[in-house]
Chain A
Amino acid sequence: MTAMERTASVKALKGVVTGIATVSRLTGRGGGAVIGGRVALALDKGALGKLAAGRSLFLVSGTNGKTTTTALLAAALGTAGPIVHNTTGANLKTGLVSALAKDLESPVAVLEVDEAALVPVLAETTATAVVLLNLSRDQLDRYGEVRLAAQKWRTSLGARPEVHVVANCDDPLVVWAAQAGGSVTWVSTGQRWRIDATSCPNCGGRVTWAGEVWSCSCGLARPEPEIQGGGDDVEFGGRSFPVQLQLPGRCNAANAAMAVAAARVAGVDPEDALAAMVGIANVAGRYREVNLGPASARLLLAKNPAGWNEILDFLAAPPAGVVVAVNARGPDGYDTSWLWDVDFERLEGRPVVAAGERALDVAVRLRYAGVPHDVCPDPLVAARRLPPGKVELVANYTAFQTVLGAVDG
C-alpha cells in the first residue's frame, strides 16, 4: 500500500467512526465510542494497525489504575505536543479504533488497553512503550487464572522486543511477564496486594518477601527499580520530585510514578510530567464530587479486592457515610465471592448502605463484618439516605456507569 492509499483508507475509517458516533448520539444510543470502532473493524480488520501507524504509541494495561494512569500519562506527554487518548475507559480494540479514528493528526497516542486485549493490540501495532501496572484477581468468572494472563503478556512481549516496557517491579506476576521484553524500565510503586503472587509464576514455588524485596528459589526476584514512587515523592537519578496530585491515595501516587517513568521514554522530564498531572481532578467521573441535596458525594470506582483495599485507606473518616454499590453484570463478573476478600471490617464506625443490583450480597458480607448497615439498591437514593454531609459512594464498574448516567441526566 502506498502512503497515499494508506491516507485514503485511514480517512475513510475516520468517516465511518465519526459518522456512526453521530448517528448513535442522534438516535439516543450513547456516545458511540464502541459501535463506531466495531463497524470500522468489521469493514477493515487491520483498522487498528493503520490508525496507529506512524504515531508514537503508548499502551497502558493492568488490573487496576489503567484509566487514571492513562490520563496522567496523557497530561504529561501533552506538554510536548498534541496527543490522542481514549478518555472514557473504552479499552477493547473497538474503543481504541474509535479514539484513534477521531484524531488522525496527533503524532502521539496514549491508550488504555484491557489486560486480555493487550495481546492482539501488541501484535497489530508497533508501540513505542507499554506500561504494565499490576495483575490481581478480578472478574472471577471471566479471568479465572490471573497467572494465565501473565503468561500471555510474557509470550506477546517476547515476540515484540522492540517495544520498551515500563513495569512495576513490586508485582511478581508483572515482573515475570515484563522480563520477556527487550528493554524494561522498572518502577517501584510499593504495591501491597500480594496474595495472588505468592505462588511463583515461573516455577510454582513459594515467593517470599523481606520488606519490599521479594524472591523465589528459582531465581525470579524483584529487579532493582530505576524509579521509586507510591509516596510523597518520585525518586529518580538521585533526585526527589514531590508529587502533588488532586487525586487521593497511595494508589494514585503509584500511578503517577508509572506515568512519570513512561513519559521519560518520550523525553519528558519528571518535573514537567508531574507539574502537568496536578491539574487532573477527576478521571472518567472517578473522584468527582457531586451535590445530592443533603449529601455531597465523592464518586469512587472499586471493582476488585486490591482496588477496594486501596480505597479503604483514604476514605473520609467517620461521620462520613459510605455507599457500597455492587452489580454483577458481564463487565463486573457474575460471581460476587470477591466481596469476602475485601476488608469491609474497616468500615466499622461509619454509617453504611449496601447498594447496587447485588445489595443483598453486600449486606450479608457487612453483617459478618460486624458493620451495621441499611440496604437500598439505588446508589443515589442510598447516598441521600445517609446522614447529611460527606458521603463516599464506592461502586464497581457497571454500578458506577449507572451512577454517572443518573448524575449527568
Chain B
Amino acid sequence: MAEPDRSSAVRVALLYPELLGTYGDRGNARVLVQRLAWRGVPAELVEAPWGEPAPASCDIYVLGGGEDSPQASAAAALIAEGVVNRAVDDGAAVLGVCAGFQILGHSFFGPGGAARPGLGLLDCTTARRASPRIVGEILVEPNPEVGLPALSGYENHAGLTDLGPRAVPLGRVDVGVGNGDGTEGALEGRVVGTYLHGPVLARNPALADLILSWFVGELEPLDDSEITDLREERRQYVAAEQARRSVRRWRRYRRRRMSSTARPRAANFSV
C-alpha cells in the first residue's frame, strides 16, 4: 500500500473548517503538510469549505471538532457526496477528531439527542452521553498493536464511543476519559479517530508521521525537541494534578469519617 517513490505532492484536505474547526483542529492539517515540507517532500493543503464539492483524490482527509448542529450538517454533506468514502476505498487516510471522530462511525448523537447516521468508516458507535461534559487534559498509554508512544492532548466532549471488533483503540486512558470504557480513539485500516485536541498532531508528532508514512514510506527524524519539551511539561502537569486530586479525595474521606464517628460530641466537653 505504501507509495515511497511517489512524485506528486501529498494532498491534505481540511474538510469543512467552518463546521468542524472549533478547537483549533485545523492545526492537524498544517502539521501534516509542514512535516513533509521540512523533509523536502512536496505537500499541499487543500481547504474544503462547506457548500462546495469536497475535493476528490486527496491522500489525507482531516475532520475536526465542532458543535452538535454543525456536526450533523457536516455528516449529512459528506454522506450525500460520498467523496471521502470513495477516497478511503482507493487508499486515502482520514483523521477525525472529536465530532469528526464520531461522524466516522456508524452513528452519533444529533442536535436534540436523536441518533444520526455516520460515514461507517470506523467500526464504532457514539450512543452514550457523559454528564457532566468531559473536559480536561488526557494522557493515553500506547496500544502496542499501533506502535505509537504515549498520546497527550485535551478532551472536551459529551459523547462516549463504543468500538466494534474491526476497530482497534489507539491506547488505554491513563488520565482522562477518552472513549469512556478505558480505551481512547480508534484505528481501522487508514482511518483514525480520537478525542484528543491540542491539536492532536501538534502534541503527538509520531501519530502525524505514522499517517504520512502510509503515503511516502519511512520518514527521516526531525528536530522535535520543543515538542518533546511540551509533551514532558504536560505529562508533569497531569501527574501533579492527579496527586492534588488524590490529596483532596483523602481529605474529604477523613472529614467524612471524622464527622460520622471519631468527632467527640459537644456534650462530652466540659470547658
Query: For residue A44, which residues in chain B have a CB less than 8 angstroms away from its CB?
Result: none
Flag if B19 contacts A198 (CB, 8 Å): yes
Give chain A interface residues in 327-383, CB to chain B under 8 Å: 334-341, 360-361, 363-365, 367-368, 370, 375
Shortest distance from the beta carbon of A211 to any chain B beta carbon, whole Å: 17
CB-defined interface of B51-91 with A at 8 Å, one 1/0 digit per residue?
10000000000000001111011000000000000000000
Check B18–A340 contact: CB distance below 8 A.
no
> CA–CA, A140 to B197, complex, Å?
11
Contact of B23 among A205, A337, A365 (CB under 8 A): A337
Check B156–A141 contact: CB distance below 8 A.
Answer: yes
Contact A337 B233 (CB under 8 A): no
CA distance A367 to B137 in the complex (A): 23
Instruction: Give the chain A neighbours of B72 by CB distance below 8 A.
Output: 204
How many of A's residues come within 8 Å of B, CB to CB?
A: 32
Instruction: Name the distance in Å between B38's Cβ and chain A's nearest Cβ.
Output: 10
Query: Is B214 positioned at the interface, with any CB of A under 8 Å from its CB?
Result: no
**Nearest Cβ in chain B — how far from A177, in angstroms?**
16
Within 8 A of A (CB), among B9-47: 17-19, 21-27, 30-31, 34
- Given A195-B18, A337-B27, verify A364-B202 contact (CB < 8 Å): yes
Binds A, one of B100-108, B165-173, B224-232, B251-259: B224-232
Q: Are A198 and B197 in contact, with the CB atoms below 8 A?
A: no
Interface pair A360/B24, CB less than 8 Å apart: no
Cβ distance B22 to chain A, nearest Cβ, rounded Å: 6
| Interface contact B229-A360, CB-CB below 8 Å | yes
**CB-CB < 8 A to A340: which residues of B?**
24-27, 30, 199, 202
Taking the nearest CB of chain A, how far is it from the CB of B14, in angstroms? 12
Set A144, A206, A361: member contacting B51, Cβ < 8 A: A206
Interface assignment of A145: CB less than 8 Å from any CB of chain B: yes
Contact call A335/B154, Cβ cutoff below 8 A: yes
CB pair B67–A145 under 8 Å, yes or no, is yes
Instruction: Specify which chain A residues have a CB less than 8 angstroms from the CB of B136 in the assembled complex.
Output: 141, 334
| A208 contacts B by Cβ under 8 Å | yes
Q: Are B23 and A364 in contact (CB under 8 A)?
A: no
Establish whether residues B227 and A364, one from each chain, have CB atoms under 8 Å apart when the complex forms: yes
Q: Give the distance in Å from the alpha carbon of A146 to the alpha carbon of B68 in the complex.
A: 12
Of B18, B111, B154, B199, the residue contacting A334 (CB under 8 A) is B154
Cβ–Cβ contact A368 & B31, under 8 A: yes
A341:B69 contact, CB within 8 angstroms: no
CB neighbours (8 Å) of B135 from chain A are 141, 334
B18, B22, B70, B202: the one contacting A368 at CB < 8 Å is B202
Given A144-B133, A368-B34, residue A199 in contact with residue B156 (CB < 8 A): no
CB distance from A220 to the nearest CB of B (A): 14
Please tell me if the beta carbons of A199 and B69 are within 8 angstroms of each other in the complex.
yes
Distance (whole angstroms) from the CB of A372 to the closest CB of chain B: 12
Q: In the complex, which residues 189-208 of chain B have their Cβ closer than 8 Å to any Cβ of chain A?
A: 197-199, 202-203
CB distance from A93 to the nearest CB of B (A): 23
Q: Which B residue sits closest to A198, measured CB to CB? A: B18
Whether B156 lies near A368 (C-beta < 8 A) is no
Q: Kindly supply a per-residue 1/0 record for chain A positions 181-206, scoring 1 wherever the CB is within 8 Å of any chain B CB and 0 otherwise.
A: 00000000000000110110000111
11 contacts between A and B (CB under 8 A): A144-B133, A147-B69, A195-B17, A204-B69, A334-B154, A336-B154, A337-B197, A341-B21, A360-B226, A364-B203, A375-B226
Query: A: which residues have CB within 8 A of B?
Result: 137, 140-141, 144-147, 195-196, 198-199, 204-206, 208, 334-341, 360-361, 363-365, 367-368, 370, 375
Query: 10 shortest A-B CB distances, which residue pairs?
Result: A340-B27, A337-B24, A198-B18, A340-B24, A360-B230, A199-B70, A204-B69, A337-B197, A335-B154, A337-B23
B residues with a Cβ closer than 8 A to A are 17-19, 21-27, 30-31, 34, 50-51, 67-70, 72-73, 111, 133, 135-137, 154, 156, 197-199, 202-203, 226-227, 229-230, 233
